């Protein structure tokens, strides 16, 4: 029995340390809990999230996992599309999204927006997110504080690995 403990305890401890390190700093799998990103991402899809992507490397249109600025959702992660970064002016009018006064081509949204919003300018060090299912998504356009701090960014969605029939990079 002691021989078994001496052999396996270090292996088990190493596995735990590696697992926690990878999940905390490199990447992890997430399950999508809602339809806010339809038709791009479906409920119960599994995504690989890259936690090594720096906030400086994020681009408009990236799909990002983050903690929203909502006290009632503390500890909950959201997944949405990055629409605005520091200095961008965002507006929704006549069913279309405008960034810095220019209409944004969005072939991925479920349907045109049925609301108007803004204009609003994103402060430096902050981000503005919308779900692709714009009319059903609880996102920046509805939050009392619409901006997500860069420290709340968890990572960038890189790959859908489940369901297997829909595997693709994001």
Altogether, the residues listed in the chain come to a count of 170
Q: Go through 55-88 and write b for each residue having 16 or more CB atoms within 10 A of its CB, e for each that does not.
A: beebeeebbbbbbbbeeeeeeeebbbbbbbbeeb
The active-site residue out of 80, 137, 140, 156 is 80
Cα distances from 50 to residues 7, 115, 166, in angstroms, run 33, 32, 19
Q: Has 36 been annotated as catalytic?
A: yes
CA distance 85 to 25: 23
The DSSP letter of residue 24 is I
Active-site annotation holder among 6, 19, 34, 36: 36
Respond yes or no: is residue 169 known to be catalytic: no
- The residues carrying an active-site annotation are 36, 80
């Amino acid at each position: 029995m002691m021989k078994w403990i001496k052999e396996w305890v270090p292996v088990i401890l190493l596995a735990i340390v590696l697992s926690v390190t990878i999940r905390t700093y490199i990447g992890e799998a997430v399950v999508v809990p809602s339809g806010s990103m339809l038709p791009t991402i479906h409920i119960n899809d599994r995504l690989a999230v890259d936690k090594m992507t720096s906030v400086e490397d994020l681009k408009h249109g990236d799909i990002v996992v983050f903690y929203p600025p909502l006290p009632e959702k503390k500890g909950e992660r959201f997944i949405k599309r990055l629409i605005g970064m520091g200095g961008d002016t965002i507006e929704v009018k006549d069913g279309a999204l405008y960034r810095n006064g220019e209409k944004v081509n969005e072939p991925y949204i479920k349907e045109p927006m049925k609301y108007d919003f803004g204009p609003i300018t994103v402060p430096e060090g902050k981000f503005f997110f919308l779900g692709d299912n714009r009319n059903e998504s609880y996102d920046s356009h509805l939050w009392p504080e619409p901006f997500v701090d860069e420290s709340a960014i968890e990572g960038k969605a890189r790959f859908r690995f489940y369901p297997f029939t829909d595997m693709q990079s994001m």
